Chain A
Amino acid sequence: MKIDRAEVEHVALLARLKLSDSEMEKLTNQLNSILSYMDKLNELDTEGLEPMAHAQPIHNAFREDEVRPSLDPDSSLSNAPERNESFFLVPRII
């Protein structure tokens, strides 16, 4: 067993997902079979190998710090589920 039900619940919370009992059950099984398959990578000795996070050898892409046009507030907020003038509205936090 790679991952048990309690761990699936923990990961779901980290990912901000609320899952039903049956979804949790199904996912526990599926994640176990998927993660077991990943064990295949342990056949390879990767000691000392450089990890490759990206396909191109670009590290930093610098540009001049210049003011350029950007979206106006109204367009930026045009998809907001709820807004007040130029602010996004969210449920009470404190």
Chain B
Amino acid sequence: MNILELSIHDLAEVYSRKEVSPVEVTKTYLKAIEDLNPKLNAYITVTEDLALEQAQAAEKTIMAGNQSTLTGVPLAIKDLICTKGIATTCASKILTDFVPPFDGTVTAKLRENGAVFLGKANMDEFAMGSSNEHSAFGPVLNPWDESRVPGGSSGGSAAACAAKLCAGALGSDTGGSIRQPAGYCGVVGLKPTYGRVSRFGLVAFASSLDQIGPITRNVTDAALLLGAVAGYDPADSTSAHQPVPDYMESLTRGLSGLKIGVPKEYFIDGLDAEVEKAVSQTIKNMEDEGAELVEISLPHTEYAVAAYYIIAPAEASSNLARYDGVKYGLRSEESSDLMEMYLSTRSNGFGPEVTRRIMIGTYVLSAGYYDAYYKKATQVRSLIRRDFDEAFKKCDIIACPVTPSTAFKIGEKIDDPLNMYLSDIFTLAINLAGIPGISVPCGLSQDKLPIGIQFLSDHFREDLLLKAAYNTEQISEFS
């Protein structure tokens, strides 16, 4: 048995037959991490002792016959989700020594479910970035081609998943940070509906957009992991009072009766020909499986990048005001008075992309510019949301590319922030509207790089996304 080949639902099966122990599985992963992580840099912190302790506890649970779906399953947690007693750095110099005295709701749920924490996954600093090059702990390499980025900001989670350095991972998605790296690394990434998963203990970037979600090797695992972390949480007043369905029930073959909207605004100049071909072929295959295709229009798509890069930095500039060197995190030593302490702590602590976004955000919220930028962007956000509301009157899900190209080269866009922002063109609108989206592999380019397709649905219809993604997985040629 090749332990590293077993995904989350495979592990549940072999554990229930007691064919392998969680301790052996965990040790195998820790060895793989030791071998590969120095190169890939997918983990910032490896929690070896905790993992072995959790694995031993899982073993007892299994021997007693009390296991749940995640008992003894080794996971990676993006390093902006608070883990009690384990450094949570947000890939930032300003939080390098921050050890949360509490668990986020999702990490608490995973612990209760008996999961094993292998470590904290690398990311772009404070989740701001599309390439994982903006990490204070160095870039992550794409396991498919080490000269390329794994995507971002959940680059470490996606790379760890693709390189089989974990059985599955949690990421977070503010403008594509789960779906885009999943697309670039050939794994499954699901951004749930805003409010589906508690954000308590998720270090805030843009609070009206942030959502935690699973990054996994297959759709079944995504359904399992989403089910384990979803649900209302009194500690997050924006989490939704909505029952959590059994997502496993969505994983059935056949798409008859499903109306798939194809938005013409997502098949534009600048979309790589190979990506276009793989996505279109997948949509065609879905039609063969019984789905009905509907042409739809999302007319305000081209305004999503501009609206997003006003709203997200505005919220970030406000959220990141808390890093002032007083209560936690870095405090610069070279300060004689309070103002000097703020200035030097923040300037020494934040990297260039975070600094840039705080500057944009502070500017668009400042006196004299608020109406022209922030208010305007929030009005455009209404238009974008309305586009989706109209579209979902005509179709059940939307199918489109997740990125305009396959993974780009490390260094290619680092000096051109606007160009980097534009690479998020197909993922941002989803967060602005608050709807869920899933990225699932649908093909390989000639350079042997994964291509992803994205499905979108109306609020709280993750069941439909999982169904579409499951069928895609069954019929696509991706292996």
Contacts and interface: CB of A to CB of B under 8 A. Distances in A.
Contact of B382 (A15, A19, A42, A50): A50
Interface of A is mostly: loop
A88 B327 contact: yes
Nearest to A3: B363
A75 B101 contact: yes
A41 B376 contact: yes
A14 interface: yes
B379 A51 contact: yes
Interface in B399-437: 417-418, 421, 431-434
B375 interface: yes
Chain B CB within 10 Å, residue with most, of A18, A46, A55, A88 = A55
Q: What range describes how many residues of B lie at the interface?
A: 35 or more
A38 B374 CA distance: 11
A16 B339 CA distance: 8
Interface in B316-337: 317, 321, 324-331, 335-337
B310 A17 contact: no
Contacts of A58: 195, 237-238
A56 B307 CA distance: 18
B303 A44 contact: yes
A45 to B, nearest CB: 10
B373 A56 contact: no
Q: What range describes how many residues of A lie at the interface?
A: 35 or more
B379 A46 contact: yes
Contact of A81 (B310, B331, B417): B331
A27 B355 CA distance: 9
B328 A80 contact: yes
Chain B CB within 10 Å, residue with most, of A38, A91, A92 = A38
B363 A11 contact: yes
B196 to A, nearest CB: 10
Contacts, number: 163
B65 interface: no
A53 interface: yes
Contact of A52 (B101, B327, B338, B385): B385
Contacts of A38: 306, 309-310, 373, 377
Contacts of B325: 81
Given A34-B417, A40-B306, A54-B208, A61 B237 contact: yes
A79 B102 CA distance: 12
B98 A79 contact: yes
Contacts of B148: none
B360 A46 contact: no
B355 A17 contact: yes
Contact of A55 (B195, B341, B350): B195
A6 interface: no
Contacts of A56: 194-195, 238, 240, 434, 459
A1 to B, nearest CB: 14
Interface string A19-34: 1000100010011011
A9 B417 CA distance: 20
A62 B447 CA distance: 54
Contact of A41 (B306, B324, B335): B306
Interface string A32-72: 01110110111110100111111110100101000000010
Interface in B101-116: 101-102
Nearest to A71: B101
A34 B347 CA distance: 21
B80 interface: no
B359 A51 contact: no
B358 interface: yes
Q: Which 5 A-B pairs have the closest CB atoms?
A: A55-B434, A79-B328, A61-B237, A81-B331, A51-B378
Interface of A: 3, 7-8, 11-12, 14-19, 23, 27, 30-31, 33-35, 37-38, 40-44, 46, 49-56, 58, 61, 63, 71, 75-76, 78-82, 88, 90-93
